[in-house]
Structure 1
């Protein structure tokens, strides 16, 4: 899964810019390409809000990511016709999106989580995936937050009962060794 790798978080002109976002993009791209080359499905999420679906998001953050905002698009570096794009309105990619049904219909029991923000959407999705019976692998160097403290706190929490922390290179090595 590639969580919210949108221009909104990756373009320095955006107030929501994640400074370490560009550093993880190529690692995610390599992992995405490796998966697609082995017919392993890739799901990308796009965080888009409507006033109704935002719930408390606008009050917390002061604004919303709307579909008509050019920064809401997936990063050009990660755009892929073979990926399934799920639109979500909350941190958790499983909430009201049909993601669980999509994954189970394809027989998927394991998830690799990448993207932004480690401590919000990535962590929420990883926890939700675990609670729904998926085995979760969390890419330590394929996720990013606004600062190191948020990133490390999420990794520490997830590794204590929800997800296996791994490097993208380790995942790629494992996938390549299967063929």
Structure 2
């Protein structure tokens, strides 16, 4: 059952390509931003590493300002590959020393899917925040989630992730993070 359990000491947050021009093409782009914002706050509160990628920022823009302003300690990388599992980013992932990864971002059936596949293939346990990823079409989003689940990832949601990481109520972290879920 360890495959389905998150804890902050073994986990990092990976934010894939939530960029200005991509968000504009996504029906659920604002939801993805909001859920990712909550997960960034969670990672910061629980001292979890954060890695952010941008797909071809010259063409797709930078990470959206709402998230950019929240990233205090995250490492950001530009990329051209759809999968983030390329040398420079792979090294940053390995440097976290953690084998569980929570993924948010765009698009579910392209960059998120290819990244999940590469991470699983290299021994990582992948948790997809289903409300924190999207595609331009609902069909592509659902197909991406289905493919990722078939490969062995855990398809979950932001609220389940937060409460799993917290483990119990009444802690100082719970008091901070429970306010984010309304």
User: Runs of 4+ in structure 1 displaced over 3 angstroms?
Assistant: none
In the aligned structure 2, how far is the partner of 1:44 from the partner of 1:89?
14
Residue ranges of structure 2 left out of the alignment (5+ in a row) = 1-13, 172-182
In the aligned structure 1, how far is the partner of 2:163 from the partner of 2:22?
28
Q: In the TM superposition, what are the counterparts of 1:97-112 in structure 2 within 5 Å?
A: 98-112=88-102
Q: In the TM superposition, what are the counterparts of 1:1-179 in structure 2 within 5 Å?
A: 1-11=14-24, 17-48=25-56, 65-66=57-58, 72-79=61-68, 80-96=71-87, 98-177=88-167
2:42 partner SS: helix
In the aligned structure 1, how far is the partner of 2:115 from the partner of 2:49?
17
TM-score, normalising length from structure 1? 0.81
In angstroms, what is the RMSD of aligned CA positions? Answer: 1.5
1:155 partner SS: helix
What is the aligned partner in structure 2 of residue 55 from structure 1?
A: none
In the aligned structure 2, how far is the partner of 1:106 from the partner of 1:161?
23
Aligned length: 154
1:94 partner SS: coil
